[in-house]
Amino acid sequence: MADPARRRPGRGLTVRAALALVLALTAAPLLPAAPPAVAASGPWAPDRAYLYLEGAPGAVLEDRLAVTNQAGEPLTLRLRADAAGPWIALAARTVTVPARTRAEVPFTVTLPASTPPGGQTATITASGRGREEPVRLHLRVRGPLLAALTVEDVSYADGSIRYALVNRGNTPLTPRVALRADGLFGEVLSRPARVRAELPPGRRVALSEPWSDPPHLDAVDIRVTASAPGAARAEATASRTFAAWPATATLLTCAVTAAALVLRRRVPSRRAQRRRRGRTVPERRPPGAGA
């Protein structure tokens, strides 16, 4: 979005989202407005890229979306709320703003009593004249924070190591995941930890890592380790036996051939021993003995 000091009248619509009143179990002060956010150039753009609300479970939070049409003709916008649950209620789905006039669209955010403490995110999107502009809503639910991460369902199939990460706490996590595999003769895979996508509270995500060159013949323990700031390290393992049939068949053929050669060598030697035992050794007489 262009600098407000450089805007010229008649360039379109500016969407301003201003924090109004927070209704919670206890009174909360009005939060200061966020600074203008830089947005793409066009006939209209929001002044703020995000909103921030905070309240306790069971509270109803109120805010409003202020729309100013700086153009010389009316403009109709469609509003849409995207959230994890049916918490956001807009006073109107569409708003028509006359030329050079300001309109406000109230909305509420209802926090169920069972809402766990921590962070939540949502989006309110305004669309019109062939473009969309999202405004992020960052919601903070009061209460003690708990960071908990687990790794589950580790397996190997079709050239990939598969596993699941589960956020069992009430705060968003950004996990780092490392992979390791050990066979009968030592380490066969080692990948350092790398950051995965943010994992919201209570969410489970299935992930996979390619492993296209596992051993042809080995018994392997696959270990997936995950960590995140504030959470204890989590890991899970799975065992997999690799036995490529061409290599296995070759080894079996060699073993059978070697056994046959050993057997053939041992059988003639035993027969020879029996023959030697059955021979009669002539008796030797002392010199000068009579016939």
Per-position pLDDT tens, the chain of length 291? 444 334 443 333 333 333 332 222 222 333 333 333 333 334 565 556 678 899 998 899 998 887 777 777 888 889 988 875 668 999 999 988 888 887 788 889 998 888 878 777 888 888 887 778 788 888 888 888 889 999 999 999 989 999 999 999 888 899 999 999 999 999 999 999 999 988 988 899 999 999 989 998 999 999 999 999 989 999 999 999 998 655 555 555 666 666 666 666 655 555 555 665 555 555 555 566 554
Task: For residues 156 and 182, state if they share a domain.
Answer: yes
Which pLDDT does position 74 carry in this prediction? 85
Task: Tell me, yes or no, whether 268 lies in a domain.
Answer: no
Tracing tokens 């995140």 back to the chain, one arrives at 228
Which pLDDT does position 195 carry in this prediction? 92
Task: For residues 41 and 86, state if they share a domain.
Answer: yes
Task: For residues 40 and 132, state if they share a domain.
Answer: yes
16 vs 19: CA distance, rounded Å: 10
Which pLDDT does position 22 carry in this prediction? 28
Phi and psi torsions of 38, nearest 5°: -80, 125
What CATH number does residue 16 fall under? 2.60.40.10
Task: For residues 136 and 167, state if they share a domain.
Answer: no
Task: For residues 107 and 235, state if they share a domain.
Answer: no
Which pLDDT does position 170 carry in this prediction? 81
Which pLDDT does position 27 carry in this prediction? 29
Strands 160-167 and 149-157: antiparallel
Which pLDDT does position 233 carry in this prediction? 94
Task: For residues 131 and 156, state if they share a domain.
Answer: no
Which pLDDT does position 274 carry in this prediction? 60
- 3-class SS string, the chain: CCCHHHCCCCCCEEEEEEEEEEECCCCCCCCCCCCCCCCCCCCEEECCCEEEEEECCCCEEEEEEEEEECCCCCEEEEEEEEECCCCEEECCCEEEECCCEEEEEEEEEECCCCCCCEEEEEEEEEEECCEEEEEEEEEEECCCCCCCEEEEEEEEECCEEEEEEEECCCCCECCEEEEEEEECCEEEEEEEEEECCCECCCCEEEEEEECCCCCCEEEEEEEEEEEECCEEEEEEEEEEEEECHHHHHHHHHHHHHHHHHHHHHHHHHHHHHHHHHHCCCCCCCCCCCCC
Tracing tokens 């392997």 back to the chain, one arrives at 220
Which pLDDT does position 272 carry in this prediction? 57
Among 106, 141, 176, residue at a domain's last position: 141
Which pLDDT does position 45 carry in this prediction? 54
Task: For residues 182 and 119, state if they share a domain.
Answer: no
Task: For residues 21 and 136, state if they share a domain.
Answer: yes
| Total tally of structural domains belonging to the chain | 2
Task: For residues 203 and 103, state if they share a domain.
Answer: no
Which pLDDT does position 42 carry in this prediction? 45
Task: For residues 154 and 208, state if they share a domain.
Answer: yes
Task: Tell me, yes or no, whether 256 lies in a domain.
Answer: no
Among 112, 141, 170, residue at a domain's last position: 141
Task: For residues 13 and 68, state if they share a domain.
Answer: yes
Structural domain boundaries enclosing 174:
149-243
